Amino acid sequence: MPAISRAVLRFVSLSALMLSLPGVRASAQTALDKQITSVFPDAQALYLDLHQHPELSSHETRTAAELATRLRALGYEVTEHVGGMGVVGILKNGPGPTVMLRTEIDALPVEEKTGLPYASKARTKDDSGRDVGVMHACGHDVHMATWWGTAAIMARNKDSWHGTLMLIAQPAEETITGADKMIKDGLFTRFPKPDIGIAMHDTNGLPVGKVGITPGYSKANADSVRITVYGKGGHGAQPHTTVDPVLIAARIAVTVQSIVAREIKPGDAAVITIGYIQAGTKNNIIPDDAQMGFTVRSYKPDVRQHLLAGIERVAKAEAMAAGAEKMPLVERYESTSAVYNDPVLTQHLAATLEGVLGKESVVTEEPIMTSEDYSYFVEQGVPSFYFTLGVADPQKLAEAQAAGKQLPSNHSPLFAPVADPSLKVGMTAEVTILRDLLKGTPADVKKFTNPSSGN
């Protein structure tokens, strides 16, 4: 028996778990259960295929083509190469609202170490020419397979909804560039602008069968900052003849933490992390310059601006204090805003999900400081609901929590979602949400959102 087939059987053995999960409807006789059962084999096969053929950000050629082909076969109007590798699928089903469902399609430069029989063995050259392993370490393969299964159910059961369904397969989420590129390529001018946007992300922090919701801020603003510190190089034994950029960088690294500790109001989320300081070639040579890499996280726009201004202020002040003749170069080269869930929409859809999954299976989660470029869609005026899907084995998660540990998280080489029944729960959630929103009129949908909300 092929290894993949054995893996499928291992997953199928977990299918019974779905029926025993608290709150998940056990009856296989319901219409939605039957529809999910009918598409599940293809969705699972797609998951296994995507898992073994991951592609890096902005290079998702095979992935995008596969999704586009599958959408066309379902009857969607498909446009490829939107903002690079982006795919847009439109399914019109009479008058009504327009609802967008987005999935990400890129993988990470991570060598998989899960030991699964279907583990990725892919390797490629990254944009800098380094040979790297490639893995769906963030679970985008789960997202895509769920997204396609939902697309199939919606296309094959058009009597259960009306309006326009807009499916987005977004590239380059991991480099927080794909959403912006799709928008700049006319996503909301060449195609209908959605009344509501929906997105999902998997997590090992919740067991299979549960979904997480977060009203308001869900994910953080993220800004990547690079600082080049200029000094005056020379012999390490004669520091008085130099201006030491390594020492300046060290002072900056310490002092910027006072911005969070002493300048940001207690209770406002703020993080400044320095991921690297690079300088010099030899222990007895003081170099001419040093480079520092920052990630800066926040939720509120005013906090974000204070952090960024404060970092530049500290960098220049430390350079002046050291007598540097040239001020540091401060570059902000990657950024995305916080993901904001419309509170009214979130409350409405939480109740909708509770009606299907059970109240105990819909968990309110705290916002987290990771980031997501879905925020670009929100900034275009699309009220949105971004929720999480639990993909952890319940027993393993309970054992880890009892031991005060965590399961391997997204981006770990050991990240291994329980695909079945995660895909089924994900499809149940997405189809339920879409059918709830794709009824009535666009005006009816607007009642589910707060016109004054935003980030």
Structural domains of the chain, ranges and CATH numbers in brackets: 3-219+338-446 (3.40.630.10), 221-336 (3.30.70.360)
Residue 2, pLDDT > 80, answer no
Are 135 and 54 in contact, with CB atoms under 8 Å apart? yes
Out of 60, 112, 173, 430, the active site residue is 173
Adjacent-strand bridge partners of 332: 225
Please state which of the ranges 20-24, 44-48, 288-292 shows the lowest mean pLDDT. Answer: 20-24
Residue whose structure tokens are 């105990």: 360
The alpha helices in 100-202, defined as continuous H runs, are: 140-156, 178-184
Summarize the confidence of residues 337-345 as an average pLDDT: 96
Does pLDDT of 403 surpass 80?
A: yes
Task: Tell me the pLDDT of the chain averaged across its residues.
Answer: 93
Contact 303, 271 (CB under 8 A): no
The token pair that represents 72 in the structure block: 């066309």
The residue behind tokens 């326009």 is 164
Predicted confidence band of residue 16 (pLDDT cuts 50, 70, 90)? very low
Residue 8's pLDDT is 37
For the chain, count helices (H), then strands (E).
Answer: 14, 18
Among 106, 180, 202, 373, the active-site one is 106
pLDDT at 11 over 60: no
443 has a pLDDT exceeding 90:
no
Give the residue carrying structure tokens 């009504």. 96
Decide: residue 409, CB within 10 A, 0-12 exposed, 13-18 middle, 19+ buried.
middle
Q: Give yes or no for residue 237 having a pLDDT over 80.
A: yes
Mapped onto helix, strand or coil, the DSSP state of residue 114 is: coil
Q: Would you place residue 449 in the very low, low, confident or very high pLDDT band (cuts 50, 70, 90)?
A: confident
For residue 334, give every residue at least 6 positions away whose Cβ sits within 8 Å of its Cβ, in sequence order, or none. Answer: 175, 176, 177, 222, 223, 224
- The least confident of 8-17, 64-73, 139-148, 159-168 is 8-17
Is 329's pLDDT higher than 70?
A: yes
pLDDT at 444: 82
Confidence of residue 442 (pLDDT cuts 50, 70, 90): confident
DSSP code at position 195: S
Tell me the pLDDT band of 109, cut-offs 50, 70 and 90.
very high
* Average pLDDT, integer, range 298-325: 98
d(CA 312, CA 256): 9
pLDDT of residue 321 exceeding 80, the answer is yes
β-pair partners for 70: none
Residue 168: in which H helix or E strand, if any? strand 163-170
Burial letters for 8-44: b for 16+ Cβ neighbours within 10 Å, e otherwise? beebeeeeebbeebebbbeeeeeebbebbeebbeebb
- Spatial separation of the C-alpha atoms in residues 379 and 374, rounded to whole Å: 9
Query: In whole angstroms, what separates CA 151 from the centre of its chain?
Result: 20
pLDDT of 440 = 81
Would you state the pLDDT for residue 450?
Answer: 72
pLDDT band at 448 (very low <50, low <70, confident <90, very high): confident
Residue 167 has pLDDT above 70, yes or no: yes
Q: Determine the pLDDT at residue 452.
A: 56
Band the pLDDT of 446: cuts 50, 70, 90: confident
pLDDT, residue 21, reads 53
What is the pLDDT averaged over residues 125-136? 96
**47 neighbors 63 (Cβ within 8 angstroms):** no
106 is catalytic: yes
* More confidently predicted of 440 and 382: 382
Find the mean pLDDT for residues 10-32.
51
Partnered with residue 102 across adjacent β-strands are: 168, 199
Residue type at 133 in one-letter notation: G
Q: What percent of the chain has pLDDT over 70?
A: 93
Please provide residue 13's backbone torsions phi and psi, each rounded to the nearest 5 degrees. -65, -20
Query: Across residues 189-203, what is the average pLDDT?
Result: 97
